[in-house]
Amino acid sequence: MVQPWDLVAGPLVRRITSLLEVAPGQDVVSIGGGEGRFAVWLAGRHRLTVEVVDPDPAAVARGEQAAAEMPRLERPRFQVGHATDLPHESQVFDAAVLDLFTLGPVAADRAFAEAARVLRPFGRLVVLAPAWHTEPDPPLERRLEAAFGLRAMMPVEWKRLLRAAGFVEILAEDWSADPGELPSRWPVALRGWRVAGLAGLRAALSPAARDFLRELGSRRLALTLFHAVRWPGGGS
């Protein structure tokens, strides 16, 4: 439901790829990318080894289906797993993408630490997260956190967590759309139905979803890309 809308999605994917600075033959992990759209695009276009980890078995199944027509050697590998306990050895990836919007309840500091653990020294991390531009109203903040399982923070707070996990050269980019470009509730509801059936529809039409879209439209809350480099010695 909270995935980027059409006018943002294409440029966002290209920007994430640029920030990863990927090259053919590298290893990339997509954390929270279970539906596979980004992984399939990345693996097919750049000839990379891409692994996808997502806590939702249904999302992983959709990702496997999306990749089924790809040549076997290019096909991303999908598995069920959690951002705070990745099923990988340490220092095995050149780059990582962490989509906090898709993971549900997750401790961001532990997810950042796990990303640092599985990245090689000087590996690149891109994080998609919600960030407040202004101090939020506490009751609203609590409602959104309860509904989505994710606490939006100020950019300086996100950067502090990344730094504590062993990342440097941390930068943030605002990917907010103009208010008129945001989807209305009904396209959001349709996506919720397609992804999760009745539960998704209820979530999309909930007061929390209305609050979320309103805050995005007001630009008090932003879809934000954080990119950083894993410093040698960090994340081990």
Q: What is the CATH number of the domain that holds 53?
A: 3.40.50.150
- Residue whose C-alpha is closest to residue 15's, from 159, 209, 160, 227: 227
187 occurs within a structural domain: no
Q: Binning pLDDT at 50, 70 and 90, where does residue 152 land?
A: confident
Fill in the amino acid letter for 44: G
Kindly report the pTM of this predicted structure. 0.83
Residue for token pair 């999302």: 59
52 occurs within a structural domain: yes
Query: Which of the two residues, 166 and 233, has the higher pLDDT score?
Result: 166
The structural domain count of the chain equals 1
157 occurs within a structural domain: yes
198 occurs within a structural domain: no
- Residue whose C-alpha is closest to residue 21's, from 109, 97, 99, 106: 97
19 occurs within a structural domain: yes
Query: Which of the two residues, 179 and 98, has the higher pLDDT score?
Result: 98
202 occurs within a structural domain: no
Q: Binning pLDDT at 50, 70 and 90, where does residue 203 land?
A: low
11 occurs within a structural domain: yes
The runs of H, that is alpha helices, within the chain are 6-20, 37-46, 57-67, 108-118, 138-148, 155-164, 185-204, 207-218
Angle at 99 between CA 115 and CA 27, to 5 degrees: 50
Query: Which of the two residues, 226 and 14, has the higher pLDDT score?
Result: 226
Fill in the amino acid letter for 191: R
Q: Binning pLDDT at 50, 70 and 90, where does residue 177 land?
A: low
Task: Name the residue range of residue 69's domain.
Answer: 6-132+150-178+221-230
| pLDDT given at position 2 | 43
99 occurs within a structural domain: yes
